[in-house]
């Protein structure tokens, strides 16, 4: 009898699940939608997506082609894996394809955040941001700050075991803070860092504003960060001093044609800190990993940096000419970003029903412009799973149509050169000062974010550079 009851329960359960799945499919069986499956009500296919990662995408593509529907991360979503179509979507924000980042992210990063604004507001905020990260600004103002910061951040690592993930995370955040407000940021940096890490977790969580949730903590942390930044703005204004940092440019309304309110200035600073944080830190960490595993690449990179050091005294900083001479370093950064796929893709949202690729996409649906697979396309990158920075030495590979490592179109990363300058300076001091080896087995996750869940531990020893010609001979 008991066996019968259990069997009946299982059969009924299966019938119920099948009916639920079917009902959900029927709900979304609108005319003109692309093929694909929608999974469970509410949860959709999020579990499969997060568990199987890139394989989920590849399996769905094998079944339904490069343009299919799904329901992931709480929203009905179209996944586009077609390079040409992805390019079209990125280039055509004005046709109604605006950023589609989760509500938790928009709430916590602020309503003036660049991802939250569209049309003329976006153009204005972006213009104001581009003025902060222009080549002149990097050359005259930011690079000296980055150099100064990296020198100090990378001091006294020898004869220690360090977690390079933790170090690069701190580096990315504190270096940005230093570019924004220079010495004034030092006194708040520790408290700021604690709150900022809560903000990051909050933006990646479900938007449930109940005490104890990451979203709630992130929201509270935003308030604390806003207070700290507001104090910086007020103190700077009271001092009447004009300083050569990002805040100085943002507040110097007379010389700067982009005039922002205090609220906009604060959200702009949060945008810069947030956008450059994970991208710069993870690329730096993965570069260390790949350089460790590919000694021929490390040798070439060291050669480049030792040549730059050779003409300098130990206290001389990296300048703009040095940065421009780091051609192989740039190639290492692109290759790291490609092979590790630091950014899987970008999210857009339709603002009206719209025709795309012969289908009608309803208003409010997300479009996941999934660019990951392009990174492993053998036509674009022969032997795509090899770590081969030399493939980037031809400058034109950076301007090919499907170069999406930094996005594309009107939202293409404005901080690209700044990010490259930061990672290059980090690598400069890292490879000219140190040797390193990994300690123990390292676990790396590549999806949905690249991270080392238990840290990436390395034993660091000093690299003697006192006699550079000797060092160069003995790379």
The answer to whether 100 contacts ligand HEM (rule: CB under 6 A) is no
- Residue closest to ligand HEM, measured at CB: 415
| Closer CB to ligand HEM, 133 or 225, in the complex | 133
The answer to whether 413 contacts ligand HEM (rule: CB under 6 A) is yes
The label of the residue with tokens 């359960």 reads 13
Which stretch in 189-197, 210-218, 315-323, 411-419 sits in contact with ligand HEM by CB under 6 A?
Answer: 411-419
The answer to whether 272 contacts ligand HEM (rule: CB under 6 A) is yes
The answer to whether 424 contacts ligand HEM (rule: CB under 6 A) is no
Whether the bond into 322 is cis, omega within 30 of 0 = no
CB 107, CB 213: distance < 8 Å: no
CA nearest to 172, candidates 283, 319, 329, 325: 283
The answer to whether 279 contacts ligand HEM (rule: CB under 6 A) is yes
The answer to whether 418 contacts ligand HEM (rule: CB under 6 A) is yes
Give me the least distance between CB of 459 and ligand HEM, in Å please: 26
Q: How many CB atoms lie within 10 A of CB 59?
A: 12
Contact characters 352-391, ligand HEM, x per CB under 6 A: ----------------------------------------
Give the residue, chosen from 181, 414, 430, 433, that forms a contact with ligand HEM under the rule CB under 6 A: 414
3-state class (DSSP) for residue 409: helix
The answer to whether 276 contacts ligand HEM (rule: CB under 6 A) is yes
The answer to whether 415 contacts ligand HEM (rule: CB under 6 A) is yes
The answer to whether 444 contacts ligand HEM (rule: CB under 6 A) is no
| Closer CB to ligand HEM, 33 or 405, in the complex | 405
Burial per residue of 292-326, b for 16 or more beta-carbon CB atoms within 10 angstroms, e otherwise: bebeebbebbbebbbebbeeeeeeeebeeebbeeb
Give me the least distance between CB of 5 and ligand HEM, in Å please: 53
The answer to whether 133 contacts ligand HEM (rule: CB under 6 A) is yes
The label of the residue with tokens 């604004």 reads 117
Rounded Cα gap, residues 10 and 17, in angstroms: 10
The answer to whether 346 contacts ligand HEM (rule: CB under 6 A) is yes
Beta bridge partners of 98: 349
Give the residue, chosen from 80, 86, 185, 275, that forms a contact with ligand HEM under the rule CB under 6 A: 275
436 conformational bin, left if phi > 0, alpha if psi -120 to 50, beta if neither: beta
Give the residue, chosen from 381, 406, 430, 447, that forms a contact with ligand HEM under the rule CB under 6 A: 406
The label of the residue with tokens 């600073």 reads 269
Rounded Cα gap, residues 392 and 400, in angstroms: 11
CA nearest to 400, candidates 72, 61, 87, 106: 87
Residues that bind ligand HEM (CB under 6 A): 99, 114-115, 126, 129, 133, 271-272, 275-276, 279-280, 283, 337, 342-343, 346, 405-407, 411, 413-415, 418-419
């Amino acid at each position: 009898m008991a066996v019968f009851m259990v069997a009946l329960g299982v059969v009924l359960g299966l019938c119920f699940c099948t009916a639920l799945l079917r009902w959900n499919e029927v709900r979304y069986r609108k005319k003109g939608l692309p093929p694909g499956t929608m999974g469970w009500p509410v949860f959709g296919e999020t579990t499969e997506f997060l568990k199987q990662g890139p394989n989920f995408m590849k399996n769905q593509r094998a079944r339904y082609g490069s343009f299919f529907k799904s329901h992931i991360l709480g929203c009905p979503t179209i996944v586009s894996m077609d390079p040409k179509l992805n390019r079209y979507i990125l280039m055509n924000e004005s046709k109604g394809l605006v950023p589609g980042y989760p509500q938790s992210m928009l709430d916590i990063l602020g309503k003036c955040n660049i991802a939250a604004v569209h049309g003329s507001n976006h153009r204005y905020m972006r213009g104001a941001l581009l003025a902060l990260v222009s080549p002149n600004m990097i050359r005259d103002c930011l690079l000296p700050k980055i150099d100064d910061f990296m020198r100090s951040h990378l001091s006294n690592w020898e004869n220690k075991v360090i977690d390079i993930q933790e170090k690069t995370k701190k580096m990315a955040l504190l270096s940005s803070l230093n570019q924004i407000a220079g010495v004034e940021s030092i006194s708040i940096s520790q408290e700021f860092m604690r709150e900022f890490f809560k903000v990051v977790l909050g933006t990646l969580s479900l938007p449930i504003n109940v005490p104890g949730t990451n979203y709630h903590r992130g929201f509270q942390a935003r308030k604390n960060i806003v207070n700290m930044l507001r104090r910086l703005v007020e103190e700077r204004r009271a001092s009447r001093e004009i300083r050569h940092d990002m805040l100085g440019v943002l507040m110097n309304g007379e010389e700067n044609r982009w005039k922002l309110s205090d609220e906009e200035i604060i959200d702009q600073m949060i945008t810069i800190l947030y956008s450059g944080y994970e991208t710069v830190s993870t690329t730096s960490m993965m570069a260390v990993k790949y350089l460790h595993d590919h000694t021929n690449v490390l040798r070439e990179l060291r050669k480049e940096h030792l040549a730059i050091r050779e003409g300098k005294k130990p206290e001389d900083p990296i300048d703009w000419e040095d940065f421009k001479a780091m051609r192989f370093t740039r190639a290492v950064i692109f290759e790291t970003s490609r092979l590790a796929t630091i950014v899987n893709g970008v999210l857009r949202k339709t603002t009206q029903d719209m025709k795309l690729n012969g289908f009608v996409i309803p208003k409010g649906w997300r479009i996941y412009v999934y660019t990951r697979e392009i990174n492993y396309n053998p036509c674009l990158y022969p032997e795509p799973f090899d770590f081969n920075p030399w493939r980037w030495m031809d400058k034109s590979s950076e301007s090919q149509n499907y170069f999406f490592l930094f996005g594309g179109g009107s939202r293409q990363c404005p901080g690209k050169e700044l990010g490259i300058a930061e990672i290059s300076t980090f690598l400069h001091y890292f490879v000219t000062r140190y040797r390193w080896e990994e300690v123990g087995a390292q676990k790396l996750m590549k999806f949905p974010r690249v991270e080392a869940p238990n840290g990436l531990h390395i034993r660091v020893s000093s690299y003697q550079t006192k006699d550079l010609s000797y060092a160069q001979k003995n790379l």
